[in-house]
Structure 1
Amino acid sequence: MTTADISVNLKNLWTGYVGPAIEICLILIVVYALLYFFRRTRAISVLWGVIVILLGLGFLAGALKLEVFQWLLVNLWQLLTIALIVIFQPELRRAFAQLGSIFTPHSHSRQIEQKEAIEEIASALTQMSFRRCGALIVFERKIGLAAIIGNAVQLDAKINSLLLQSLFYPNSPLHDGAVIIQDGKIVAAHAILPLTQETLYRNIGTRHRAALGITEETDAIALVVSEESGLISYAYKGRLTRDVSEAKLVDFLKRKLLERKTSDSTEKEEKSNVAI
């Protein structure tokens, strides 16, 4: 067998077997990654609904020999890509934001400022929990919250327990909305956050929905004090953990705000503690 024959055989092997196998594997990986990312979103239900309807209509059109309708369905599948961008717009925005945050340099000075702020915030939340004073505090991390801060009452204050308690004091001008923490400072109050549309969490108030909403779209951490029960909760990556003690809250904030990486065992432990 000549070198030319070997080259032809290798080319045929690639085009006939290896190439298609690699393409199939790549497609399966992409599909799995998309399903894994969107598995907990309400948009996945919409996607499955659209697919089921289109498949059903396609089967019906084929059985009844509706050629024009079949042609429309074929072209409709092509338009489905554009429809998916619209349906998954919030999820895609969050995914690209998180991807961009990977390449954002980590600030050591931010760690120092946040370390000083954690104890003050934990103290403030404990006091407000005792008095059942509702509160919502958001830590900006790698993904910026400039749009939300720009529409809020902008401040530039060092974090202080008494100041936070006064901001959330009932009937005060700024007690509604969220306080935004950026680089160890209070940079905004009376901030309006996006509300989660997730249906997994029932019987929660507006503050908790806002906490979930902002953590679904960004890498922020949101802390909540319930006005009804006084319980302290935190939201992270679209998950809500409720009724946490001051010690547990401080430990969580230090791990997430002061450490660059979190071990897989820690992530699994947090997921097991999530309360719905």
Structure 2
Amino acid sequence: MQQLGILLANFRVIDLLDIAAVAIIMYRFLLIVQGTRAYQMLFGIVALAMLWWVSQFYELYSLSWILQNFFDYLFIILIVLFQDQIRSALVSISSTKIIGRNGRSKFDQQIEEVVAACSALSRERTGALIVFEKNHGLLNYSSSGTRLDSRIHSDIIYSIFQTNSPLHDGAIIIYNGVIQAAGCFLPLSKNVEIDRHFGTRHRAALGITEISDAVVVTVSEETGRINICYNGVFHYMENEDLLRKYLRKFLLEIDRVGPVESVGRITP
């Protein structure tokens, strides 16, 4: 208790700000690495730290020496292991609302391309699965497909989902203004209460939004129905204008959108 009293007596407001800054950085980092291989590597590093503590406690000198040398270069190792996540974090800082009208205008152009492609696919009743990556990393899933790094264009999206395309069965993942990958495999929802009429495409859309903050657009090949899935909920898009507005709402955080049918279970 005496040590706690000394600690509180010497505690300053600047110390609180220091702790808060570190906590925010760690929280943002964990959000970025969630759902990626980096998340697994992070747990691996924690396991090694626990093993090092055990080796110190039980005086396992050889193991302790190896781990001690490993942790001496931990900072460099972290930069190498998490270079993609560090890059994503820097990009996310520059892509906040500070980017202003020019950044938002470019985002609107991308949304227009997606809306045009989905409308064409809907008319032809061609299935599609389009994932917008936000803050939660989806590198695990983009690496399961074919890397494209292509500009977002309605013709490219339309051609990817044609039945004669080798990539039409999977999802495309859009991140940082490009089609990052196509033909990607997404985790299926494990919710046992899902309507049995759900197809694999819709289950995948639900699954990825249950574990990340991604925004997913689906086009049903049976009905041509367009839906947006966000936070584990499907929103039925009756027309292009509504699709455009809801993409802006979820991606740009613009709330001026009218009422829409939003249900957790739908018939695709």
Name the TM tier (shorter chain).
0.5 to 0.7
Q: Deviations over 1:211-245 (max 9, x none)?
A: 00000000000000001111101100011123532
- What is the TM-score when the length of structure 1 is the normalising length? 0.56
Could you tell me which residue of structure 2 aligns to residue 130 of structure 1? 123
Check whether the contact 2:217–2:228 (CA below 8 A) recurs between aligned residues.
yes
1:274 aligns to 2:267 (yes or no): no
Check whether the contact 2:173–2:182 (CA below 8 A) recurs between aligned residues.
yes
Q: Secondary structure, in 3 states, of the residue corresponding to 2:182?
A: strand
Give distance in 2, aligned partners of 1:111 and 1:199. Answer: 39
Q: Tell me which of 164, 170, 191 is aligned to 2:163.
A: 170
Give distance in 2, aligned partners of 1:210 and 1:132. Answer: 19
Could you tell me which residue of structure 2 aligns to residue 245 of structure 1? 239
Q: Tell me which of 186, 198, 201 is aligned to 1:204.
A: 198
Letter of the 1:242 counterpart: Y
| Structure 1 residues 155 and 211: alpha-carbon distance in aligned structure 2, compared to 1, 3 A threshold | same
Q: Secondary structure, in 3 states, of the residue corresponding to 2:213?
A: coil
CA RMSD of aligned residues (A): 2.3
Check whether the contact 1:122–1:250 (CA below 8 A) recurs between aligned residues.
yes
Which of the two has greater helix per residue?
Answer: 1
Could you tell me which residue of structure 1 aligns to residue 150 of structure 2? 157
Check whether the contact 2:232–2:264 (CA below 8 A) recurs between aligned residues.
no
Q: Secondary structure, in 3 states, of the residue corresponding to 1:175?
A: coil
Deviation at 1:106, TM superposition (A): 6.2
Q: Secondary structure, in 3 states, of the residue corresponding to 1:148?
A: helix
1:233 aligns to 2:222 (yes or no): no
Q: Secondary structure, in 3 states, of the residue corresponding to 2:216?
A: strand
1:107 aligns to 2:100 (yes or no): no
Q: Deviations over 1:140-198 (max 9, x none)?
A: 00111111112210111111111111000012111111000001210100000000112
Could you tell me which residue of structure 2 aligns to residue 47 of structure 1? none
Q: Tell me which of 210, 216, 220 is aligned to 2:210.
A: 216
Give runs of aligned pairs for residues 13-24 of structure 1, distance below 5 A.
Answer: none
5+ residue gaps, structure 2, are 1-88
Check whether the contact 1:239–1:274 (CA below 8 A) recurs between aligned residues.
yes
Give distance in 2, aligned partners of 1:214 and 1:254. Answer: 20
Give distance in 1, aligned partners of 2:155 and 2:243. Answer: 19
Give distance in 1, aligned partners of 2:263 and 2:190. Answer: 18
Letter of the 1:168 counterpart: F
Check whether the contact 1:137–1:178 (CA below 8 A) recurs between aligned residues.
yes
Give runs of aligned pairs for residues 47-196 of structure 1, distance below 5 A.
Answer: 105=93, 107-108=95-96, 111-196=104-189
* Identity between Structure 1 and Structure 2 (%): 40
1:255 aligns to 2:243 (yes or no): no
Give distance in 2, aligned partners of 1:128 and 1:216. Answer: 25
- What is the TM-score when the length of structure 2 is the normalising length? 0.58
Check whether the contact 1:234–1:240 (CA below 8 A) recurs between aligned residues.
yes
Could you tell me which residue of structure 1 aligns to residue 13 of structure 2? none
Give distance in 2, aligned partners of 1:147 and 1:111. Answer: 28
Aligned residues: 169
Deviation at 1:115, TM superposition (A): 1.8
Q: Deviations over 1:39-88 (max 9, x none)?
A: xxxxxxxxxxxxxxxxxxxxxxxxxxxxxxxxxxxxxxxxxxxxxxxxxx
Check whether the contact 1:134–1:168 (CA below 8 A) recurs between aligned residues.
yes
| Structure 1 residues 223 and 147: alpha-carbon distance in aligned structure 2, compared to 1, 3 A threshold | same
Q: Secondary structure, in 3 states, of the residue corresponding to 1:242?
A: strand
Could you tell me which residue of structure 1 aligns to residue 78 of structure 2? none
